[in-house]
Amino acid sequence: MEQFVFSLNATVPIFLVMVIGYVLRRLHVVDEPFIKTLNSFNYKITLPVLLFKDIAESDFYSVWDTKYVAFCFLVTLTCITLIWLAAALLYRNKDLLGEFVQASYRSSAAVLGIAFIQNIYGTSGMAPLMIIGTVPLYNVAAVLILSFTGPASHGFSLKSLKKSLMDIARNPIILGILLGMIVSACQIPFPVIVTKTISNISVLATPLALIGLGAGFEGSKALKQLKPTAAATLLKLVVQPVIFLPLAIWLGFREEMLVALLVMLGSPTTVSCYIMAKNMGHEGVLTSSVVVATTFLSSVTLTVFLFVLRTLGYI
């Protein structure tokens, strides 16, 4: 019973804040322009500052783990490759294929993932190292997949790949992580005024990100493309964690490392999937459906996985 209560305390408060965001939108307290501005503010300011703060305040040489970063990268690459190969055999519609693959592997590691880990441990934990091993690959793979499978696609677009690489280099979250690593490695001290200012901004990250995610939630879209939506949701929330979490445990990953891997493998599909799919000429209906379905159902699946890991003594 204690493990079950722990699991509920780790997941339910996160989704309740999202529900508050959803209710505020329906009450017209917030509107679409506000949501876009809020999401942009979180992506460019609060989340990078939170990650910067957590890394800068840690001992870089004791936190960095090459084995862990490599594991995150290789597992993500394996998931992308296997899903792409399997989906290519099932879906002849190129537009559907590209959206299905991207929505099946790409997690909300930065927004919902950090909130999940922070709710358990009070900091972003091992999320920064997990993000380093996955987010750049997420973006490059998405460009490749959507370029090859676009409705009017004639194959791979070097221009799109170059743009994606530039976006990665300018990604505020990646920059926040790298700056935090530099400060931590060089042990650069900050005056109290600066430290408190950074702390005040960082505490805004989780609640504002969750409110923005909940406010932008559109349940009606999940009623379209039901079969591929169900398949992608099952892959995203259940199949990948079931396959790779035991491997992570066998390799000796525990506590914060294991929770970050659970986020990487089993958190909802990120909203940025929909934005990228639309920008690259795809219809976007399947992507938005998977985002909605995984966000809703992950409140159950994450609780179950956390309960099992807690009961077995791995976290």
Residues 118 and 177: their CA atoms lie apart, in Å, by 16
Q: What kind and span of H or E run contains 28?
A: none
Taking the model in full, what pTM does it have? 0.78
CATH for the stretch 2-309:
1.20.1530.20
What average pLDDT does the chain have?
81
Given this model, what pLDDT does residue 234 score? Answer: 95
Given this model, what pLDDT does residue 154 score? Answer: 52
* Cα atoms in the Cβ-side hemisphere of radius 13 Å centred on 98: 28
Given this model, what pLDDT does residue 2 score? Answer: 67
Given this model, what pLDDT does residue 303 score? Answer: 86
Q: Identify the three-state secondary structure at position 82.
A: helix
The C-alpha angle with vertex 54 and arms to 262 and 104, in degrees rounded to 5, equals 25
Q: Which residues of the chain have pLDDT under 50?
A: none
Given this model, what pLDDT does residue 164 score? Answer: 64
Domain ranges of the chain: 2-309
Q: Identify the three-state secondary structure at position 124.
A: coil
* pLDDT tens-digit readout, 178-208: 888 888 888 888 888 989 999 899 888 778 8
Residue 214 in contact with residue 275, Cβ under 8 Å?
A: no
Given this model, what pLDDT does residue 176 score? Answer: 83
The radius of gyration of the chain's CA atoms, rounded to the nearest angstrom, is 19
In DSSP notation, 186-254 reads HT----HHHHHHHHHHHTTHHHHHHHHHHHT--GGGGGSSHHHHHHHHHIIIIIHHHHHHHHHHHTT--
Given this model, what pLDDT does residue 155 score? Answer: 54
